[in-house]
């Protein structure tokens, strides 16, 4: 019984630590574009790949293309 209480206590303490990290954003509004248009350009800045159209730079993510500041 004592071992069971120790194990349950250890599990509770471990579960209190979160694996998530906090992310701060200065801009609360994020623009996500599902499909890129036919007339886009691929631009490389410091080894990273960006897509350029409509006067803005976009970065590819799992959900689509997000507007970024280069």
Chain segment 45-64, per-residue pLDDT in tens = 999 999 999 899 999 988 88
pLDDT at residue 1 tops 50:
yes
In angstroms, rounded to a whole number, what is the distance separating the alpha carbons of residues 61 and 33? Answer: 10
What is the model's pTM? Answer: 0.55
What would the mean pLDDT of 15-30 be, rounded to a whole number? 50
The residues near 40 (Cβ < 8 Å, ≥ 6 apart) are 51, 52, 53
Which pLDDT band, with edges at 50, 70 and 90, does 20 fall under? Answer: very low
Note the pLDDT of residue 3.
85
pLDDT at residue 18 tops 90:
no
Q: Which letter does DSSP use for residue 38 in this model? A: S
The domain segmentation of the chain, as residue ranges, is: 24-70
Average pLDDT score over the chain: 77
């Amino acid at each position: 019984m004592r071992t069971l209480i120790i194990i349950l206590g250890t599990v509770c303490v471990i579960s209190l630590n979160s694996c998530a990290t906090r992310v701060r954003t200065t801009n609360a509004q994020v623009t996500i574009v599902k499909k890129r248009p036919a007339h886009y350009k691929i631009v490389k800045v410091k080894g990273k790949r960006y897509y350029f159209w409509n006067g803005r730079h976009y970065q590819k993510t799992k959900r689509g293309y997000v507007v970024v500041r280069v």
